[in-house]
Structure 1
Amino acid sequence: MAKLILTHEVTGLGAPGDVVEVKDGYARNYLVPRSLATPWTKGAEKEITAIRKARKAREIESLEGAQAVRDSLQSKPVVVTAKAGESGRLFGAITTAEIADAVKANGAQTVDKRKIEIGQPIKATGEYKVQVRLHAEVSATVTVKVVAA
């Protein structure tokens, strides 16, 4: 088993700053090469506190605040414009950064692109549902309308 410090959020494993133990192969072949985690050392305590402090500044503090943001996000669809062919197929795919920018342009609170989870790649015009993790216990289902530019 390898002991690691997560530097990014990994679904099902933990949040940045968490110390986790995973199997050696998972650490060596997935987490460390993708810079999602760093090996744990005794001197890494300062790094852990810095990561936790940055995460706390980005998070929505209270559960009630997260629920209010969830209600505002779910109340109206987010419109994303993209170049598309005649059949409605996009040139490329919609990214989480584009969805985060559209949410911000829609007048809602700024959402971190790393908190947006897209089930299937969005490669055509239409309506899609995406999950946005706002708090440890609160997530919102946002309707994303993709229209041709």
Structure 2
Amino acid sequence: MQVVLLERVEKLGQMGDVVRVKDGFARNFLLPRKKAMRATKANIEHFEGQRVHLEARNLELKAEAEQVHGKVNGQSFIVLRSAGETGILYGSVSTRDVAAAMTDGGFSTARNQVVLDKPIKAMGLHNVRVVLHPEVFATITINVARTEDEAKRQAAGEDLSQRHDEEDEVSHEATEFFESEELAPDDEEEISVETAGNQEEDQDQA
């Protein structure tokens, strides 16, 4: 399907470009989100008649997005989730969760503005891209932790997943130590019995 872009679309083109895309992409994404319209003769003529207005409006929205960019770019937002000892989440953090965290932090954001290559499934600090405008992008940090305290420690640079591995290793070593201590009395008893046996043999020989 051929469409006329009503705004810049990444990897497709700029406002006013006529491009060919797959029908499903046009019907499910471009057309319902008003990022493009079918490239019919009537639509192209309508676009050209509105072009000056659309370009002026686009510049206004871009300027607003750049102001937001100056405030939100580089910011960190905390998302609390349950996770195992190795830091793997029981579930995942989605675009909806990121948008909610940003909105709670004072930056109204829709889930379709959040770009995640794949859901976040582990604790830690994750860089996430946010589309503020077709030509303006911000990068934020999502701090995924189990508690506020852990989030602060992660923000300070502590690797909690590595810490848990070290704690498991120490725990394992401690377990082995106490098991060996429990065996020690048995060893002493065997030595005592053996000594007593030797004494009896000496008495018989005498």
User: When the two structures are superposed, what TM-score results if normalisation uses the length of structure 1?
Assistant: 0.65
Q: Look up the match of 1:131.
A: 129
Q: Give, in whole Å, the separation in 2 of the partners of 1:114 and 1:12.
A: 17
Q: Look up the match of 2:87.
A: 88
Identity of aligned residues (%): 27
Using the TM superposition, give the Cα deviation of residue 44 of structure 1 relative to its aligned residue in structure 2, in angstroms. 6.9
Q: Look up the match of 1:36.
A: 29
Secondary structure of 1:69's counterpart equals helix
Question: Partner amino acid for 1:110?
Answer: S
Using the TM superposition, give the Cα deviation of residue 21 of structure 1 relative to its aligned residue in structure 2, in angstroms. 2.8
Using the TM superposition, give the Cα deviation of residue 133 of structure 1 relative to its aligned residue in structure 2, in angstroms. 1.6
Secondary structure of 2:112's counterpart equals helix
Equivalences, count: 133
CA RMSD of aligned residues (A): 3.6
Answer 1 or 2: which has greater helix percent: 2
- Structure 2 residue runs of 5 or longer lacking an equivalent are 32-36, 148-206
Matched-pair contact (CA < 8 Å) for 1:66–1:135: yes
Using the TM superposition, give the Cα deviation of residue 112 of structure 1 relative to its aligned residue in structure 2, in angstroms. 2.2
Question: Partner amino acid for 2:126?
Answer: Y
Using the TM superposition, give the Cα deviation of residue 129 of structure 1 relative to its aligned residue in structure 2, in angstroms. 0.5
User: When the two structures are superposed, what TM-score results if normalisation uses the length of structure 2?
Assistant: 0.50
Using the TM superposition, give the Cα deviation of residue 66 of structure 1 relative to its aligned residue in structure 2, in angstroms. 2.2
Using the TM superposition, give the Cα deviation of residue 76 of structure 1 relative to its aligned residue in structure 2, in angstroms. 3.2
Q: Give, in whole Å, the separation in 2 of the partners of 1:148 and 1:5.
A: 46
1:101-120 mapped onto 2 (5 Å cutoff):
101-107=100-106, 109-120=107-118
Q: Look up the match of 1:140.
A: 138
Q: Give, in whole Å, the separation in 2 of the partners of 1:37 and 1:67.
A: 24
Using the TM superposition, give the Cα deviation of residue 125 of structure 1 relative to its aligned residue in structure 2, in angstroms. 0.6
Q: Look up the match of 2:73.
A: 74
Q: Give, in whole Å, the separation in 1 of the partners of 2:60 and 2:146.
A: 33
Per-residue CA deviation, residues 120-147 of structure 1 (Å, 9 max, x unaligned), is 4311010010111212332111011011
Q: Aligned in 2, Cα 1:89/1:18: closer, same or farther, shift over 3 Å?
A: farther
Using the TM superposition, give the Cα deviation of residue 74 of structure 1 relative to its aligned residue in structure 2, in angstroms. 2.8
Q: Aligned in 2, Cα 1:148/1:60: closer, same or farther, shift over 3 Å?
A: farther
Per-residue CA deviation, residues 40-66 of structure 1 (Å, 9 max, x unaligned), is 357879xx99xxx9xx7xx97252x32
Q: Give, in whole Å, the separation in 1 of the partners of 2:105 and 2:119.
A: 22
Q: Give, in whole Å, the separation in 2 of the partners of 1:69 and 1:142.
A: 12
Answer 1 or 2: which has greater strand percent: 1
- Structure 1 residue runs of 5 or longer lacking an equivalent are none
Query: Is 2:58 the partner of 1:27?
Result: no
Question: Partner amino acid for 1:140?
Answer: A
Q: Give, in whole Å, the separation in 1 of the partners of 2:113 and 2:16.
A: 17
Using the TM superposition, give the Cα deviation of residue 10 of structure 1 relative to its aligned residue in structure 2, in angstroms. 5.7
